[in-house]
Structure formats: C-alpha cells, structure tokens
Chains A and B, each alone.
Chain A
Amino acid sequence: MILALLSTDHKVVAIRAGTVAALFFAGAGVLALILRTELAQPGLQVVSRAGYTELFTMHGSTMIFLVVIPVALAACLYLVPLQIGSTRVCGPRWAFSGQWLMALGGLVMWAGWLTREGPGRAGWYAYDPLSRSPATPGPGMDLWICGAIMATLGAIFIGACVLATILRRRAPGMTMLRLPVFSWTALASCLLVVFAFPSLVVAFGLLLAERHDVLTVDPVSYQHLFWFYGHPAVYVMFFPFVGMVAEAASTLSGRRFFGYRAFVLALLAFTALSMSAWAHHMFTTGAVPNRLFALTSTALIVPAGIEYFDVIATLWQGALRFNTAMLFVFGFLLQFLVGGLSGIFVASPVLDYHAQDSYIVVAHFHYTLFAGSLFGLFAGLYLYWPKLTGRYLSERLGRVHFALLLIGSNLTFLPMFVLGHEGMARRLADYPNSSGWGALNLASSVGAGFIALGTLLFATSVALSFLRARTAPADAWGTGMSLEWATSSPPPPQNFDALPPVRSYAPLYDARHAEEPKPLPPAPQPQGIEA
C-alpha cells in the first residue's frame, strides 16, 4: 500500500492520478446534481443564491483543474512510454511530484468548504475585480487560488516529463513519424501544457498578491493571462481523447490509421491555432481585435475536419467490432460534432454578442468536454482496461452504461441551447415562473440523473472486473497496432521484456502481416491473343 503511494513507476503514478481524479469527479458530480436539482423548477428550493455560486464555481474548477486535465495527462503518462518503447518516463520524480501536487492542490481547494465564508465563489475564471478581497472576502477564495496554482504546477511537471520522454526516450527505429497517433496527441497536449499553462500560475499569483494588497492588476490584462491558459486547456482536455478514439478506431477495425501524415500536420496546426484563439472569450470586452481572434478560431475547423475525416476513413470498410469501446467512439464522433460546430458559431463575434453569458455557452462547452471528451475517455478506458489490469470490463454493463450516458448527456445539454437562445443567463440560481423555462430545465435535470446512474453503473463494472481472473493476453484485442500491445497485460515495471522491430507507426500490424504468406503475383496475361 505504502509502495503504491510512493511509487515513481509512470504506470502507477498515472493510475494514482486517475484514481484521485475519479474521487474528485464523484465530488463534482454530486455538486452538479445539487445544481440541477435547484434548477429543476422555478424558485429557490435547495440552496441560497450565494450557495449556488459556490457550487458552480467548485463544480467547474474541480472538473477542469482536478478531473479532466489530470485524467488527460495521466493517460499520456501511462501510455506514451509504452507506445514509444521506453522503459520509463524522463524525470520520474517530477511526474511523481506533479501527481501529488495535483492531489494536494485539490485538497487545498476543497478545504475552502471548511471556512466560515465558504470556498472559492468567483467562477472557475476568478475574474478580477470580482475575485478581489472586497467582493469575495475570506480565506476560502485564497485556498481556491492556492489549490489551482498547485494543480496547474503539477500539470506542468507531468506535461514536461511526457514531452521530454517523447523527445529523448524513443526506442531504436521509433522516429517522430513512426510515433503512434495517441503519442502525437500527447505531444500536442504537452506543448500546450508546457508553453501555455505557466500564464495561469502568473495570473493567479498576481491575483493572490492583489487580494493581499501587494499590487493591483488590470482586469483586461488578467483576462489575457487567464484565457491564454484557459483556451489551450480546452484542447489539453480534448487531444488525448481524440488520440484514444483514433487508437480505438484503428485497433477495433483492424486497419492502420488512415492519413497518418495529414493527421500529424493537422494536429500541429490545430495546436498552434488553439494557442492563438484565446481572446475569443473576450470579444465583448471591446479590448481585443475581434477580427484576428474570429479568424484563428474559425480556422480551427480545417485541422479538426481533417482529423474527423481520418478517423471516419479508418473505420470505413474496416472489420468493425461493435463492442462498448467502439460504441463510445461513435458517441464521441457524433456528440463532439455538436460541441465543435456550436463552437464555430460562437467564434463569430456577431453571434457571440448574442450568446455571451447565456446557456448556449454552457451547452457548447458541456457538449465538447462532457458529451465529447468524456465519451473519448470511456472509449479509451474500455479499450485499455485489459492493458491496465489484465481484466476485461463487462460488455453487457458497458452497453447499458453507454446508453445511459448517451441519453443522459443529450437530455441534459441539448435543452440548454434552447434555454440560452431564449435568454436564460448562466450562473443564475433561479428564473421566473413566467419565463416558461421550467419544462426544459426539468428535462435537463432528469438527464443529469441518467448521467449519475450511468456513472454508478460504470463504477460497479470496474469493481466487478476486479473479481474476475486476469485473462487478457498482451494483445488484448488481437488487432493491436502499436507497442503497448507487445508487452504483458498489465506491463512489468520495466515495461518490456523484448521489443519488436519498429518500421512504421503500426509495428504490431507489420509483424502480424509479415507472418502471413504473401499472395502470389497475378499470372501474366497473354498479350495480343483473343479467344
């Protein structure tokens, strides 16, 4: 037990990070259920307005700082060394420290509930001057800021380790253009983490100093610093899950990933554009050149389209295996499309002025992060669970889990587009009875219940899987493409006992097909003779 807490093995660190994130996910989920219960009908029934503000702040910041980013980085930390044929991660102590910083940061953030004034309550963005001491007094807000700084530093440490591992610890023959698709998405995420996340540490450091009257921060400068982190963070919560979906699509259709080079180029362009689009969150401030940020934000659809096309083309005419992981792949492709396309609408300043601070924005980002990324995560979890544990998850429970999440996420988030369009503002604990928003809000709250049921079912499935024997072979699905499927399930501490030769981005596929007898060349056709 103590060794599991102190282990610096990248696989154990990643599983620890994932476990801590799952605990915070449960906490954030409970907060979301309270929020939805409050909004199910007009009037204040469950919490006060101040309590509601605390709840949505803690829900949002927990999901972003303590759940989705840590899980995305944990996936990178676990899989990248296995995919590139490395025995370990670069700087294991930094990764270890990063994981503990994220966990301790979460505890510090949640310790705000124990203070008299309550926890952070200025939104996950903690806009200045709302987050200054006069507007948000009490140590709970300071604890929230410290916790967010720690969690972000932890993310930077892990991101730097994964980036350095890709650059310096690849197996012989593993050139950059032979990296598996997931490792490329991990590299893209880590570029964003290492080069964008420090601005949040600076922003929150300045905020902390401002709250203690050391200096004054210009609110627009604060927003630049915050969103320079905040927008790339969305892609850190997206790219690894696209990578998982791509791996699942390729593995479960038995085909090499289609359009590999185009995907890599599109991914790098996607990453550069996503670093350059942050101020679309500031269109209505009037302090940014809207045309530039509308251009960079809208241009994102080109590389995103290429990636979508590549995943669909990989599935096209493949020998598809419709297990739970594949269902989540399709769920991801359909639902993220809704999130992505609604993002293109709000990338237009004209439409953004209409949608600003309305439920349209809430629907958009929940479609990308929950209905999109989380489905990608589940595709990856069902695919890689045998690799992590040596055991398979129940297919029967998995299909029910998928159905509950599909119904739940659409029932919860689709009505929000309509509510936003009709003028319901976000962050409000109550709405008038005469607004006519009661039915849609009730539907949304019922949907949240479906999501909770689905999550409980998944937890049950995970628990039941540990009662089963370890039966998963190295290549758990028999159609693995990359090196992680060449080692035992779960892998040994040194990751590999032997490595197959790497001559492409799908070395296992190459090895399987090298064993098959080559078809005889077609017989030469007689020329110039007619029967």
Chain B
Amino acid sequence: MSSGDVALLGWGSALIAIALLGTTVFGLAPLPTLLLSGAGAACVVVGALTRIAERRRPRIAGKPDVLLRSSAATLVVTAGATLVLVGAAIVGPALLWPGVGFLIAGAGGLVRELRAQRRLLRDARRGSGR
C-alpha cells in the first residue's frame, strides 16, 4: 500500500457495508443508515480525490516549499468568527458587528499573506530552476 487512498476507499466501503447490513438484516431506521453510509460515502470521495491528486501532482522530494512562521490574520479571522457566533446566538449586535469587522479585516490580511507566500514560492522555484 504505497498510497493512502486504498485505506480511505476500504474504510469508507466498510462503513457503507455495515450500513447496508443494518438496513437489510436488522431494520435500521433511515437517519442512522444515512449517518453511517453518508460518512462512508464521504470517505470514499476523499479517497478518490486523494488518488486523483496523487496522479496529477505526485509528491516530489526537494520541491521548494514555504514554511509559514506565523499568521496574525488567521487569529483575527478566528476571533471574528467567535464573536459572530456568540453575538448571533446570545449577545446580539453588540458582538455580532464587531465580529463581522474582525472577519473582514482578517480576510484582508489573509489575502495579503497568501499573495506574499505565492510570491516567495515563485521566486524560490525560479531560483531552483523548477
């Protein structure tokens, strides 16, 4: 087993098989059948995507990579999402709108970070001749 897709495909199929067994032999209700087979199907899809990804973009040793050291923007987005959730569910606009502000500011920061990261990677690839 050189690739991870086999484990995922096999495991997802096992869940679907148990769900089928439950429905046909034990009269499992629709919701639990859906939960189990849905999880299995999702795993099979991820396994298939992994297989496609392995074929299209095989892992190459020594390929230039960027090591992200820190990300303030991600923390701002996470804090914003927290404020939005607590604001929407409990406190109200007093937290909701500042949360939206945090989300927007964080998203802007993320775009800047991703651009800088892409630029670095491009320069590194040029430098290594790939």
Contact = CB atoms under 8 A, between A and B. Distances in A.
Interface of A: 3, 5-9, 87-88, 92-93, 96-97, 100-101, 104-105, 108, 139, 142-143, 145-146, 149-150, 166-172, 175-177, 187, 191, 194-196, 199, 208, 212, 221, 224-225, 228, 268-269, 271-273, 275-276, 279, 287-289, 291-292, 296, 493-494
A251 B68 CA distance: 32
6 contacts: A96-B71, A146-B89, A176-B6, A195-B43, A228-B35, A276-B22
B69 A100 contact: no
Interface string B54-80: 000001010001011111101101110
Nearest to B113: A93
A177 B42 contact: no
A268 B85 CA distance: 36
Interface of B: 1-8, 10-11, 14-15, 18-19, 21-22, 25-29, 31-32, 35-36, 39, 42-43, 46, 50, 53, 59, 61, 65, 67-72, 74-75, 77-79, 81-82, 85-86, 89-90, 110
Contacts of A143: 86, 90
B78 A8 contact: no
B78 A92 contact: no
A176 B72 contact: no
Nearest to A211: B89
Contacts of B7: 176, 187, 268
Contacts of B50: 167-168
B41 to A, nearest CB: 10
Contacts of A291: 26
Contacts of B18: 272-273, 276, 296
Contacts of B11: 191, 268, 271-272
Contact of B14 (A166, A170, A172, A272): A272
Given A271-B11, A288-B32, A104 B67 contact: no
Contacts of A268: 7, 10-11, 14
B47 to A, nearest CB: 9
Contacts of B90: 139, 142-143, 146
A107 B71 CA distance: 21
Contacts of A8: 68-71, 74
A166 B59 CA distance: 12
Contacts of B74: 8, 93, 96-97, 100
B79 A104 contact: yes
B1 A289 contact: no
Contacts of A196: 39
Contacts of A276: 15, 18-19, 22, 36
Contact of A168 (B2, B59, B68, B82): B59
A108 B65 CA distance: 37
B69 A221 contact: no
A289 B71 contact: no
A199 B31 CA distance: 12
The 3 tightest CB contacts between A and B, nearest first, are A292-B26, A6-B70, A167-B4
B53 to A, nearest CB: 7
